[in-house]
Amino acid sequence: MAPFGERLSAAVSTYGPLCAGIDPHASLLADWGLTDDAAGLATFASTVIEALAGEVAVVKPQSAFFERHGAAGVAVLERTIQDARAAGLLVLLDVKRGDIGSTAAAYADAYLDAASPMQVDAVTVSPYLGFGSLDPFLTAAERNGGGVFVLALTSNPEGPEVQHARIGERTVAGAMLDHLRERNAGATPQGSYGAVVGATVGELTEDVAINGPLLIPGLGAQGGTVADLRRLFGPVWDHVLPASSRGILSAGPDVSALRKAVRAVRDELG
């Protein structure tokens, strides 16, 4: 399989950069008239995939909203991943895993190995056990043509406590971005190792030119605007992957309404 960075660039050139979330909040299930159980999840996810196939490059299921329903919910997530990939969508699974040694390798195998029934195109991970703890994920991604998105500058108010702490002359976030830049060096059209940077961080104080994709959550319902994205990320716009969930999903459950919502955001992004 071609490297994730290459496949992502091709998909974005066809469908635009929007990454659409699949986040079955209990409140969204209720708004859609669905039960807050595995059956409701299954209907929700299949409807979203039907609406988004051929409309966006990437979908981003949030694993937690499936896991909260136990084994039945995880089974729905597994089916959702398979259905989305079969529909031609790239799947970025938002799991934010982070561990060491054999445990990290097991997580990597679960989500990135070609033999896994839950294989996705990319995952989110946390680097705060040290960037080296991510080696099993990066190795599995390289072996299977996958991608890894590393938390760098999140927009939650607690984030700066860790991310803005300093290691000598660099911040922790800056160090993570430097590691990604090194990993992506020389890759064309871009590397497969990305960073997660919130749309609502306010001011961007770090160099995010990492020759890799930038997942930018927070567009829409969380307060991020396209103007914010252009201001913060204009110089690296070709690598930006803005993510919107509730702003799109609130248009459901009608498939045509969901598509209309997606197209409106996609057109605004240009």
Encode 6-24: b = buried (16+ Cβ within 10 Å), e = exposed. bbbbebbeebbbbbbbbbb
Query: What residues have CB less than 8 Å from 154, skipping those under 6 apart?
Result: 163, 196, 197, 198, 201
Quote the DSSP letter at residue 219: B
Q: Indicate if 60 belongs to the active site.
A: no
Phi, psi of 147 (to 5 degrees): -130, 160
Determine contact, residues 194/148, Cβ cutoff 8 Å.
yes
Residue of 25, 79, 96, 263 marked catalytic: 96
User: Residue 232 is encoded by which pair of tokens?
Assistant: 């913060």
The identity of residue 95, as a single letter, is V
> 187, exposed or middle or buried, with CB in 10 Å at 0-12, 13-18, 19+?
middle
- The residues assigned a catalytic role are 96
